[in-house]
Amino acid sequence: MKKSLMAVALFGAFAGVAHAQTAVQIYGNIDAGIQKRSGQTLSIGKRASNTLGFKGTEDLGNGLKALFQLEIRYEPDTGTVENGSRPLFQGQSRVGLQGDFGMVRIGRGLTPYQETVGAFEPFHSLPSVSGFYTDLAVAGYTSAPLDPVTNSNNRWANAFWYNSPVVSGFQLNTAIASKENNGGPAYGTLYPAGAQASANPFSVSATYNNGPAAVMLGYERNAVESKVWSIGAAFNVTPALKLTGLYSHHDQEHVLPGLALPASSGPTTKAWVLGANYTMGPGKFLAGYGQKDPEGSFKTKQFSLGYEYSLSKRTYLYVDASRKDGPSSQARRNIDETINFYTIGVNHSF
């Protein structure tokens, strides 16, 4: 009897140690709203990407940890995988180690440049039409031009990441991807089916965040050797008011042999975005204005306003309005057009 009780006690003790050493978290968010875009009827859509994620760490001792993260992206109105045909773990699938040296990971995820630049536009990296993250903030650049057309254009598969420790507010973030086509056909109609990479993609960003000020400098080259660099700054003027500024430069002078750029593009594209966030009680106002200027084409000008009202720490309502003037998205014609966009919805995190 005593031996049985001792065995139970020892099992409980070891189980407690294992529980303390290993931690797994299920997280995510669901965002849905009603949208209206120029020339289109009312529709159900989303402001933020909807995610279901699993992440965890295991304490290996001596300050070393193993870590992993898997993230599914889905559509709120149908429950299907995002865009209907993206990878199951479209958001990310990475495993790695973390210690005093920093963090290393292998798999699929946002590039360091893309992960950093989104923090310096006023709609905090939301992929919404009202935001600036997917277009003006990166001067029309895509990180993965040879991925299938339905994939997101700001992530790499088959890549290696390194994030340095934060020292006095400074951090260095880098990544390099393998030189391969990840299952195209091509990004839009720009690159032909079966097009192969001409270089290993790499990405680097340096950040400083200490007190009310934050600064970033980022540079990236994709698999067809298009390049982008950005410099951004953010400043909390008061606890309620935050100002942001971002400048980006996209260089497409190196393209695949025999490939002509579309009429709505040029060898270089410059872009800038200015923004502000103002918090008043449970509400937050968002405002931004930016321009994208492709060489030899029409400028894109965008003005956006948003309002978020927090019902709790995890749930908020939102209203956005945006006006965008620029080249037509129809068949890549070099024709100027105006798009107005409105949305109202709810976002819940868990």
CA distance 185 to 2: 68
Residue 224: predicted pLDDT: 87
Residue 8: predicted pLDDT: 39
Residue 215: predicted pLDDT: 97
Contact 266, 296 (CB under 8 A): yes
Residue 58: predicted pLDDT: 95
Query: Distance of CA 18 to CAs 21, 27, 78, Å?
Result: 5, 22, 39
| DSSP helix/strand/coil, 337 | strand
The identity of residue 171, as a single letter, is Q
Lookup: tokens for 308: 């978020």
Task: Write the CB contacts of 15 (distance below 8 Å, at least 6 apart in sequence).
Answer: none
The string of pLDDT tens digits covering residues 146-167 is: 887 777 789 999 999 999 999 9
Which of these, 254, 245, 266, lies nearest to 221 by C-alpha position? 254
Residue 183: predicted pLDDT: 59
pTM of the entire structure?
0.85
Contact 158, 182 (CB under 8 A): yes
Radius of gyration from C-alpha coordinates of the chain: 22
Contact 141, 133 (CB under 8 A): no
Mean pLDDT, contiguous 10-residue spans, the chain (350 residues): 42 43 90 93 92 95 95 88 81 95 96 96 92 94 83 89 96 92 55 72 96 96 93 97 98 66 70 98 98 89 98 97 80 69 96
Contact 109, 159 (CB under 8 A): yes
Lookup: tokens for 209: 């965040």
Residue 192: predicted pLDDT: 63
Residue 12: predicted pLDDT: 46
Residue 21: predicted pLDDT: 65
Each residue of 283-304: b (16+ CB within 10 Å) or e? Answer: ebbbbbbbbbbbeebbebbbeb
Residue 256: predicted pLDDT: 55
Within 13 Å and on the Cβ side, how many CA atoms surround 96? 21
CA distance 63 to 323: 50
Question: In angstroms, how far is CA 311 from the centroid of its own chain?
Answer: 25
CA distance 267 to 96: 38
